[in-house]
Structure 1
Amino acid sequence: YYGISANLMSLSGLAIAVGMIVDGTIVVVENCFRKLHDEPDTPKLQLIAESTKEVATPVTFAVLIIAAVFIPLLSLDGLAGKLYAPMAMNIVFVMLGSLSVALILVPVLAFVLLKPTKSNDNIVMSTLKKGYAPLLMFALRYAKSLLIAVTLLFAGLVYLLALQGREFMPNLNEESIMYRVIAIPGTALSQSLETASAIETHILEHYPNEVASVLSMAGRSEKGETAQANYMEVLLTLKPGIDDLPALTHKMNEDLEHTFTHVAFVPTQPIAMRIEELLEGVKAELAIKIYGNDQKVLDGISKEIQKTIADVEGLERMEVETQLGQAQINITPNYLSLARYGISVAEVMQIIRNGIGEEPISEKIEGVKRFGIVAKVKNAKANIDAVKNMTLRTQDGAIVTLRQLCDITVEQGPSFIKRQNLSRYMVLSMEVDGRDVASFVHEADALIKNNITMPTGYYIGWAGDFKNMQEATEKLMIIIPVTLLLVILLLYTAFNSFSKAILILMNVPFGLIGGIIALVLSGIYLSVSAIVGFLAIFAIAILNGIVLVSFIDELRLRYPHVPLKDLLKNAALLRLRPVLMTAFTTLFGILPLLYATGVGSEIQYPLSVVITGGIISSTLLTLLILPSTYLLFYQNQHIVEEEATDPSRQKSALP
């Protein structure tokens, strides 16, 4: 309906949702299964209906909160929106669909398929509970100390995360290399074609085991981007099995630069280059745009910037967009000479357009076809004397040459001029290796501001990955607080208590702890993909908290006279199975993304690493810290809700 294609990111949303889609079903089925064992004398239909009703509210709000966490991602724009909005939309629709399945279809299937069993737990669950019970009692006994320790751990990890490098998204391994090859301005197209052909031959001869095919292009295509005849692109399709693409690229680049010294090589990858070019108009992952009106001043500023940031750690290479250096014929009319011979400027322009610009002077008609007749001066663009000797006829019939009417010189000028926001600009592109883009830009920008004084009307702006990252981060800084507020409102609606909402939200750092640890240990920079992973962990932690807290409240309504510590132990043990099942199903759903190795898997990897680490910590800490936190919140409160006064709901002993 929304026209989302089955692409890498939309399918990633399904992969993430596969684990969470059954969470509501697991809670419903597990509750029905336990009730069938505990109350075998109750009619089965009544038991299934009561069991489903008992968990309907927490399941509904848990699923709605998961959807609410991902809905704000739909407001992302730019490249981040293109990448992550389809994934978020798929997760939202899948989760909303799973809610109707869990509350309508699953109870019917439970009534048909489930049967009472003699034992509520199998040997695996019995073993897990025996190991979990003493840990839980220890956590309840030292609740305050444990909560303080976990809080300090979380604070330390947040500080560590702040020191972690940042990037917009990981570099893709496209299994191909593209070299941008730039010759000096003014290079003829035939020379560029010869150079490109020589590069092709050299690569195929020296890298037969790595390169499957080579394709080169010189100049500009009719439907492509603007480029001069001195610009070439060489695309290498690699053979399967290349493990270290950056190392191969570096090795080939050094070889090519040593062999072809008259041109400059800039390595990139085709998709990455086209994305940056479409978004920012630059063919690099990171670039500085220098804005101003005078081309020579822009060129001078670019040289100053190159000297200033040349020694910044992580800078692999720099390339300034060579705009000056194009040989140009400059024809300046001499108005005294024009007046002497009675020739107007328009007549001079017309002869130039005809002789040099190849503007047709007439037409030849053959049937329905028309052909322009061009009277051009031979070798006009290669021989300035041919231009100077072009002739015009005066009103009295005399013939004069163009050199008698104009000052004609050959000067060096710009080969092209770029404009943005009504201002000229020049691009200084660069490659950063071994360091995150954000810290590099922060250091380089500070050096530029401290060491270079910009003339009035001239300024710089960063483009490429850094700008994309800035825009996505600013958007997320708005989205995350809105999401948090929406989650609090849903939790308050579910429990009619702000203290319960805060209690469940305190479960979120438990999941973030594992995500941060996994991110740091794997050496991955904090990217938009990783942030989306943290949002997924946020949803999973909320789900675990709702399942456990709602069950604790239900037991307190039924057993108001049982000591809270005993009741918490019993609730945690009874909810151990659904919490573990939801954790493992989500974990198994994310594992294919974690171990994927195909093209584009680099985008999914930070997300899957964060979710994997977060699931582990969220599950373990939810089962230990959440009951302890509940004890600290409500240890002096004996009755949770007014319904506890209803004698029909009260029982004297725990099940």
Structure 2
Amino acid sequence: MNLAKLSVLRPVAMAMFIIFLIILGSVSLRHLPVDLFPELTFPVVAVTASYDGAGPEEVEELITQPIEELMASIPNVESVSSTSRTGGALILVAFDWGTDMDFAALTMRERIDQVREMLPSEVDAPQVMRFDPSMLPIVQLAITEPGGDTAEARQLIENEIKPRLDAIDGVASIQVEGGSEQEIRIDIQPDVLAQYGITLQDLQQLIASENINFPAGEVHDQNQSFPIRVSSEFTSVYDLEQLPIPTNAGVVLLGDLFAISEATAPLSQESYLNGEPAVGLSILKASGTNTVQITRALNDELDDLKQQLPEGIEIQTIFDQSRFIEQSINAVFWNILLGGGLAALVLYLFLRNIRSTLIIALSIPISIMTTFLFMYFSGETLNVLTLGGLALGVGMMVDNAIVILENIYRKRQEGESLREAAIHGTGEIGGAIVASTLTTVVVFLPIVFVDGLAAQLFKPLALTVAFALLASLITALIIVPLLSSTFLRTTDETSVFQVGFEKTKAVYKRLLEFSLQRPKRIIAVTTALLAGSLSCIPLLGTEFLPAQDQSFISIDVRLPPGSALSATYQVTEEINEKLAAFTEVELAYVTVGGTDNFSLGAGSQTNRASYSLLLSDTDRRTTSDLEIADSIRSSLASVPNADIRVSASDSGFTDDPISITVKGQDLQTLEQLSEAIVATVSTIEGVREPTTNYADGNPEVTVAINRQAASSYGITSAQIASTISDATRGLVATRIARHGEELNVRLQVDDAYTASLEQLEQLLLSTPGGERIPLSSVAAVERGEGPSTIRRSDRMREVTVTASILNRDLGSVINEIEEALIEEVRPLLPNGYRISFGGQNEQMNDAFTKLSGAIALAIVLVYMVMAGRFESFFYPFIIMFSVPVTAIGVIFGLLLTNQPIGVGSLVGILILTGIVVNNAIVLVDYINTLKKNGYSSYDAIIQAGPIRLRPILMTALTTILGLIPLTLGFGEGTEIQQPMAIVIVCGLAVSTFITLLLIPVIYFLTDQRKEKRRQHAETLH
């Protein structure tokens, strides 16, 4: 080819080109962002709205339903789901994949602005935010103080630690959780307020108006201008105590009316590290930034901070995403080196020439550097999947170089000069090499048109493999001829391996002759093997993505709705005792109250605790995180009055393995149906923790206002609600700045006035006439029960049952659940209610459908590329017979390794579709060349087969051995690539040996038939 000729005749220019490529590739590698997975974009936007004090039914009616109706009318909306609970609502709007999410979020904000006036005035402005995996923390820290004083620890974080970490480039935000805050509390006695004729609101306005600091214009004096600042700020408790308050008894100092003290603010959330009080920090990175680089900068800054912090302050890392990233990338990197070494060993065994081996070995780093260059300019990141694609491509990188070098080597042995052998050897086989590379690259084209989570995960992998193959093509056509024309030497040494290979070639020639004489027998045997393997498909099972051991376990603890924070904390103490028995757990961090950092939440959840358990590294334990999680699950099953869920191997972007949703209108009916589903699912083998998200009724106090009685006193319902709210929750009057921090000044009614229903009934209300009446005069105070959480999807109420799986594949479990539900739950289903499956099963089915279509389209594209290369539809048709026989190896390999069919397996099959035809292309191309030189079909096949046996075996073995480390699953983070590697290795191994006999047989039969037709046509003429 012209490129080879240019390379051989201009060696200095080509050498400079190689150096330039290596330098550019090295610079690109340094600037590639490093992350665990590719940047993912989910078509989900969340709307959160807070309505303090409102119950779930009020939130549903006043907030959720109006927003849902607006959201459902937005274009490209796939579904709208919501959660309404005490104090707030969360509405999730899912769009079709491929929607412009920036425009969708903008449209949502515009719609919410339209409905804003319809919402209660007490509702804060609803917030719209995109759901993005980058919102998950990359690092979680826990800070402990020797005396357990979390207020001091939180103050230290806010003033010293957080500002320094915030300043690190790439840090988007830092969330502080747990820890107490100081405030100044004024203990209000309603009797005193009544005695002096003042109200709580009057007191709040007066305190706020006296704590001022604002500019008041300027004054001119002696040709100078001076700004005026009016300052009357409070700086201490003493200033508050000396504040004069006008009353009906004259002016009285605030300190003489009420007790004023510095106290701890009411807690809604507490954090503990290994049982000790702690304050948590969750650090989020900016989108598109380098996780590893940011984490290293954070660790460097923390090392400096630890030396400067007061003695006894400890900072522990609970979760560090970069730790798993680095372990995973190192594992894949060593797999690449090991695979490359095995490929080089194959080359040396076949060629027995150290110079030839070095020529091919040099093509690997050059191809890798060129791949990094392509990745940089295409905007890819260096992650587990792109490096996995590089590992998949290492064995294939040398295929083109092997075929060209082997042909050059053969030409040299036939007596041509080095330059002639390099030019003629490359030119003779160059067209077939380009075609075989394009057939492998073109299979990735359909995945560009596939949407969904699987496509987002595997598009970068597909691009990386395609880049690696294109880089290897450039290397094979330019660099291999250049190096061969300079360094290649032939040898006449006869090694044991070469003698063995010559015998193998002779055996293959006899097998080929036998096959051509009995073609029907070969086709029958192949058909029988294919039919037998296809019949084993039901034995494989199915899954979405394999679990990844990240040495991290989370525990979600939920007490009955309405449980106080103290009750939740008592349960965590019992859990801590049980966790102490697990030596694999290095750190146990728990947040009591609120939600964890890995989920969106809305409203108050004091009945909930979230654990983050850091396990020892995988090389220091014999059990997986899933097995440890199952043992913890069994140990915690005896904890009373708590719903406990333990999960591991959570990637952060996949749903629950089992998710069954029941939709209807009546909550009680939904509860009964969900309990029946839980009971049914519990009987299925391998299912763990079947749980319904239906929450029991939330204890509540209902104040039923008698409007006629209230109006007779001149009191409105809003005034009554405001008085009760101020009495129970307190009222922040102002803030005091002191020593670089701000403290709330809270007016808090003494607990004695709201400690029970009877005392709440005696809460005094002020009438416009100055009269003081008890609450019981205008309202009935009763204890009741309301729903704690109401969930809706597509404007229908729903309850979802979720569960995890251990040691079984997802597809088999779902099939058994469906059969059980038909027998036991379907008869109980009333009209208007329906059951649907979601979670990973829905994700899996969606991915399987789209990837199956991509594989079908890939086969068509491969055929079209070959048709263009051979300028015929006949020979590509013969070559395509090598594709279906790969099923024999694929199914056998998955059965042997006990791997279910998953997204990784399907992507492996997609890649395999483009690889398996390469050997057939090289063989058929040479058969055609011999036929042009006057050989008959039979003689051309017998001659071409043994000659092409060496490059075919070399390319197949280098690809197979290059993937062996990934197939065995060495190191962390290789779980996703392992199924792909198994499919490619087993499929290619079996198809190579079958193809060596099947393709010549089919070629011979079809050529014979073609010749007979030609002769028949000539006879007719």
TM-score, shorter chain, exceeding 0.5: yes
Shift in Å at residue 197 of structure 1? Answer: 3.4
SS in structure 2 of the partner of residue 172 of structure 1: coil
| Preserved contact between residue 168 and residue 527 of structure 1 (Cα < 8 Å) | yes
Q: Distance in 1 between matches of 2:381 and 2:455?
A: 14
| Preserved contact between residue 555 and residue 612 of structure 2 (Cα < 8 Å) | yes
Map of 1:645 onto structure 2? none
Map of 2:644 onto structure 1? 265
Deviations 1:101-150 (A, max 9, x none): 11122222222223455589932431221222222222222212211221
Between stretches 320-329 and 522-531, larger displacement belongs to 320-329
**Does 2:647 align with 1:275?**
no
| Preserved contact between residue 161 and residue 520 of structure 1 (Cα < 8 Å) | no
| Preserved contact between residue 492 and residue 501 of structure 1 (Cα < 8 Å) | yes
Between stretches 392-401 and 468-477, larger displacement belongs to 392-401
Shift in Å at residue 21 of structure 1? Answer: 1.0
* Residues 270/511 of structure 1: CA separation in 2 closer, same or farther (3 Å cut): closer
* Residues 207/14 of structure 1: CA separation in 2 closer, same or farther (3 Å cut): same
Task: Choose between structure 1 and 2 for higher RCO, CA contacts under 8 A separated by at least 6 residues.
Answer: 1
Map of 1:19 onto structure 2? 395
| Preserved contact between residue 378 and residue 386 of structure 1 (Cα < 8 Å) | no
SS in structure 2 of the partner of residue 601 of structure 1: coil
| Preserved contact between residue 57 and residue 494 of structure 1 (Cα < 8 Å) | yes
Map of 1:348 onto structure 2? 720
Q: Distance in 1 between matches of 2:991 and 2:545?
A: 25
Shift in Å at residue 359 of structure 1? Answer: 4.7
Deviations 1:149-169 (A, max 9, x none): 212321231231144211101
| Preserved contact between residue 200 and residue 234 of structure 1 (Cα < 8 Å) | no
Amino acid at match of 2:560: I
Amino acid at match of 1:52: T
Q: Distance in 1 between matches of 2:561 and 2:718?
A: 31
Map of 2:981 onto structure 1? 608
* Residues 477/510 of structure 1: CA separation in 2 closer, same or farther (3 Å cut): closer
Deviations 1:609-630 (A, max 9, x none): 2122112102111111111111
- Residue in structure 2 matching 1:107, options 481, 485, 501: 481
Map of 2:762 onto structure 1? 389
| Preserved contact between residue 289 and residue 426 of structure 1 (Cα < 8 Å) | yes
* Residues 595/434 of structure 1: CA separation in 2 closer, same or farther (3 Å cut): closer
Q: Which has the higher helix share?
A: 1
| Preserved contact between residue 736 and residue 743 of structure 2 (Cα < 8 Å) | yes
- Residue in structure 1 matching 2:635, options 255, 271, 280: 255
| Preserved contact between residue 291 and residue 425 of structure 1 (Cα < 8 Å) | yes
| Preserved contact between residue 510 and residue 541 of structure 1 (Cα < 8 Å) | no
Amino acid at match of 2:688: E
Map of 2:701 onto structure 1? 329
* Residues 197/370 of structure 1: CA separation in 2 closer, same or farther (3 Å cut): closer
Shift in Å at residue 380 of structure 1? Answer: 7.0
Map of 1:300 onto structure 2? 672
Structure 2 gap segments, 5+ residues each: 1-376, 1015-1021
Map of 2:70 onto structure 1? none
Amino acid at match of 2:379: G
| Preserved contact between residue 682 and residue 688 of structure 2 (Cα < 8 Å) | no
Map of 1:9 onto structure 2? 385
Amino acid at match of 1:14: L
Map of 1:488 onto structure 2? 863
* Residues 388/115 of structure 1: CA separation in 2 closer, same or farther (3 Å cut): same
| Preserved contact between residue 883 and residue 916 of structure 2 (Cα < 8 Å) | yes
Map of 2:528 onto structure 1? 152
Map of 1:515 onto structure 2? 890
Q: Distance in 2 between matches of 1:314 and 1:364?
A: 56
Amino acid at match of 1:80: A
Q: Distance in 1 between matches of 2:705 and 2:977?
A: 63
Between stretches 17-26 and 103-112, larger displacement belongs to 103-112
Amino acid at match of 1:257: A
| Preserved contact between residue 196 and residue 217 of structure 1 (Cα < 8 Å) | no
- Residue in structure 1 matching 2:518, options 119, 122, 142: 142
Shift in Å at residue 12 of structure 1? Answer: 0.7
Amino acid at match of 1:333: I
**Does 2:921 align with 1:546?**
yes
Q: Distance in 1 between matches of 2:453 and 2:608?
A: 27
Between stretches 154-163 and 15-24, larger displacement belongs to 154-163
Amino acid at match of 2:660: I
SS in structure 1 of the partner of residue 560 of structure 2: coil
1:214-233 paired onto structure 2 within 5 Å: 214-220=588-594, 225-226=600-601, 228-233=605-610
* Residues 601/381 of structure 1: CA separation in 2 closer, same or farther (3 Å cut): farther
TM-score by length of 2: 0.58
- Residue in structure 1 matching 2:558, options 177, 182, 188: 182
Q: Distance in 1 between matches of 2:548 and 2:939?
A: 53
TM-score by length of 1: 0.88
Between stretches 543-552 and 313-322, larger displacement belongs to 313-322
* Residues 162/382 of structure 1: CA separation in 2 closer, same or farther (3 Å cut): farther
Amino acid at match of 2:606: A
Q: Distance in 1 between matches of 2:872 and 2:755?
A: 84
Q: Distance in 2 between matches of 1:613 and 1:114?
A: 34
**Does 2:503 align with 1:127?**
yes
* Residues 401/591 of structure 1: CA separation in 2 closer, same or farther (3 Å cut): same
Shift in Å at residue 527 of structure 1? Answer: 0.6
* Residues 10/331 of structure 1: CA separation in 2 closer, same or farther (3 Å cut): same
Q: Distance in 2 between matches of 1:53 and 1:639?
A: 33
- Residue in structure 2 matching 1:236, options 613, 616, 623: 613
Q: Distance in 1 between matches of 2:970 and 2:703?
A: 60
Q: Distance in 2 between matches of 1:269 and 1:222?
A: 15
Deviations 1:247-306 (A, max 9, x none): 443333222223x2332332211634x334xxx5xxx33222333444333322212322
**Does 2:812 align with 1:432?**
no
Between stretches 235-244 and 58-67, larger displacement belongs to 235-244
Between stretches 218-227 and 47-56, larger displacement belongs to 218-227
Q: Distance in 1 between matches of 2:984 and 2:596?
A: 46
Deviations 1:73-107 (A, max 9, x none): 34444432343222111101111111121112222
Structure 1 gap segments, 5+ residues each: 642-655
Between the aligned residues of both structures, percent identity stands at 28
Map of 2:963 onto structure 1? 590
Between stretches 441-450 and 100-109, larger displacement belongs to 441-450
Q: Distance in 1 between matches of 2:772 and 2:436?
A: 92
**C-alpha RMSD of the superposition:** 2.9
| Preserved contact between residue 36 and residue 117 of structure 1 (Cα < 8 Å) | no
* Residues 43/503 of structure 1: CA separation in 2 closer, same or farther (3 Å cut): same
* Residues 337/319 of structure 1: CA separation in 2 closer, same or farther (3 Å cut): same
Q: Distance in 2 between matches of 1:60 and 1:133?
A: 28
Q: Distance in 1 between matches of 2:449 and 2:478?
A: 32
| Preserved contact between residue 74 and residue 89 of structure 1 (Cα < 8 Å) | no
Amino acid at match of 1:242: R
Map of 1:646 onto structure 2? none
Between stretches 291-300 and 531-540, larger displacement belongs to 291-300
- Residue in structure 2 matching 1:557, options 932, 936, 953: 932
| Preserved contact between residue 314 and residue 432 of structure 1 (Cα < 8 Å) | yes
| Preserved contact between residue 200 and residue 215 of structure 1 (Cα < 8 Å) | no
Amino acid at match of 1:252: I
Q: Distance in 1 between matches of 2:1005 and 2:524?
A: 12
* Residues 183/522 of structure 1: CA separation in 2 closer, same or farther (3 Å cut): same
Shift in Å at residue 555 of structure 1? Answer: 1.0
* Residues 569/349 of structure 1: CA separation in 2 closer, same or farther (3 Å cut): same
* Residues 456/356 of structure 1: CA separation in 2 closer, same or farther (3 Å cut): farther
| Preserved contact between residue 196 and residue 232 of structure 1 (Cα < 8 Å) | yes
Q: Distance in 2 between matches of 1:120 and 1:47?
A: 22
- Residue in structure 2 matching 1:172, options 522, 537, 548: 548
1:52-71 paired onto structure 2 within 5 Å: 52-71=426-445
Q: Which has the higher strand share?
A: 2
**Does 2:842 align with 1:504?**
no
- Residue in structure 1 matching 2:900, options 525, 530, 535: 525
**Does 2:992 align with 1:619?**
yes
* Residues 366/315 of structure 1: CA separation in 2 closer, same or farther (3 Å cut): closer
